[in-house]
Structure 1
């Protein structure tokens, strides 16, 4: 979803890109990764690959770590050898997300404390990238991601909203920030066009504001012309899942100002645009001119 959006936006603006999916490149194979980066010689590598099966990771953490922890390490070392930059996508799950943390967003430099196997493997990937490329890599955390096409929470709610009389139950005790894939892709591209000294380290690319899954579902119903009261609230305890879901996944956006870019727009504004239909892909404009670059998004 995100890798395709990054590729589409770059292609629309004439960038020279190499798009490599899982069938083309095994991210867990260090020799294959090194060869691919050396042969392509990209100025910027965008890593959108991940093991995202959160519950399955609880029983297969070693396999998830090979993708989420070792894979980014291989990419970072390959970029270090060729002089390329790396933009690595990560997640809110690197934080504990407990109710005790609620009330203020996690800052970019907040101490991580994952409570799931998925979160631990993603944190390992973050640290590997920043260790190998401390001056040229950016870790971009996102959360509650949804895209233009089918699949994902927002699309599912929109589909259910169109079913006459259908009611749905959605948890109301998890807080976070819906993030539209075109907006996140624009953030990645903007960072890639900035000079490294302004675009390295950790950034949070989530929608502005905060909400719950229940309130998000109600807003989808409302925006599609349906009765939001058809969405009923339940607690997380009603859902039996292998991996605990964060009760608090609100991320801060302070570092964008330091990079010379505006903070992300409010999640409601993005959702309204997303449900209104297709729109042009327009990456954020950096505050300084830059040259076109090549990128290598990874699709998992």
Structure 2
């Protein structure tokens, strides 16, 4: 059995669509209660655990860092400890926010970490807890996740375009938009590999080619056939409570070398998401 923490999030939803998994929502596993999460693993004794749940409200985390710490660090650490006790693999989704977001080179797994906001700090603490647990694990860092489900940039842009024909979008933040469906497929492939004895470690998986949020918005409107003018602006003109990284590029070469998994084609993924959203409205 593949046990998934998370049920309604973007990646968790795709895991349920693509694989035979047992997904746990908040009613079955309270992510703010680390010992309860560990107890579920001990009770169900799955063959592999995937943690696709997290506290992801980046700005709100500035005010709720203690809660984000429990959900993003203490609970994954407890899950990994339970997996170590049962000698089963643990897979965990992390983020580019563990880096400081400077420069223009794509981040590799061994680059120094220096998160610039509360969300990034709690996600880094989760990574450290997992590594310290002794569990065989994979930490999969990703970025700019989108899908037809939940709240994400694609759905926000489409909603705004219903009433506006011009938008200002940040252009000095650059990264790789990543379809949740591709993250889920990658996690399922990695879960199989870990069950077959793969060593694991920390890996990056994100979309290519790299683009800015403004560039992503233009692609969304072009593919969706929406006549919206996008004006690129600097981050300074769109202040947020949490500092956003300017450089969210992730180098995915290690994942390709070790597992043959290549970076996500976000443009193709965007096309599939838009088709799904269109079919839902008919």
TM value normalised by structure 2? 0.89
- Alignment pair present for 1:129 and 2:138: no
CA distance in 2 between counterparts of 1:277 and 1:191 reads 26
Q: Work out which structure has the larger RCO, using CA pairs closer than 8 Å and 6 or more positions apart in sequence.
A: 1
Distance 1:258 1:133, change over 3 A: farther
CA distance in structure 1 between the partners assigned to 2:77 and 2:129 by the alignment: 5
Superposition map of 1:26-45 within 5 A: 26-45=30-49
RMSD: 1.9
CA contact (8 A) 2:91 2:191 kept: yes
**Could you list the runs of 5+ residues in structure 1 that have no partner in the other structure?**
279-300
Task: Say if 1:172 and 1:31 are closer, same or farther in 2 by CA, change over 3 A.
Answer: closer
Post-superposition CA distance 1:99-154 (Å, at most 9, x none): xx21x2101221211111111110010111122135x2000111111112353110
Give unmatched runs, 5+ long, in structure 2.
1-9, 278-282
How many residue pairs end up in the alignment? Answer: 268
State the Cα deviation string for residues 278-299 of structure 1 (Å, max 9, x = none). Answer: 7xxxxxxxxxxxxxxxxxxxxx
Per-residue CA deviations over 1:170-227 (Å, capped at 9, x if unaligned) read 1111001101110110010110011465351111121122000001001111111123
Residue 238 (1) aligns with residue 227 (2): no
TM-superposed CA distance for 1:249, in Å, is: 0.3
- SS of 1:244's equivalent in the other structure is coil
| Range with greater deviation from structure 2 (32-41 or 243-252) | 32-41
Query: SS at 2:168's partner residue?
Result: strand
Cα distance in 2 between the residues matched to 1:240 and 1:5: 32
Query: In structure 2, what is the Cα distance between the partners aligned to 1:162 and 1:117?
Result: 33
TM-score norm. by structure 1 comes to 0.84
Deviation by residue 1:49-68 (Cα, 9 ceiling, x = unmatched)? 11111112122222211111
Q: Say if 2:258 is the partner of 1:259.
A: yes
Query: How far apart, in 1, do the equivalents of 2:151 and 2:167 lie?
Result: 17
Q: Which residue of 1 aligns with 2:11?
A: 2
Task: Give the match for residue 51 of structure 2.
Answer: 47
Question: What's 1:84 paired with?
Answer: 88
Is the Cα contact below 8 Å between 1:27 and 1:74 reproduced in 2?
no
Q: Which residue of structure 1 lines up, in the alignment, with residue 24 of structure 2? A: 20
Distance 2:150 2:76 in 1: 28
Q: Give the alignment of 1:108-119 within 5 angstroms.
A: 108-119=109-120
| Residue in structure 2 matched with residue 222 of structure 1 by the alignment | 222
Secondary structure of residue in 2 paired with 1:23: coil
Aligned with residue 101 of structure 2, among 97, 103, 114: 97
Residue deviations 1:5-45, cap 9 Å, x none? 112211xxxx3x32111222123334322321011111111
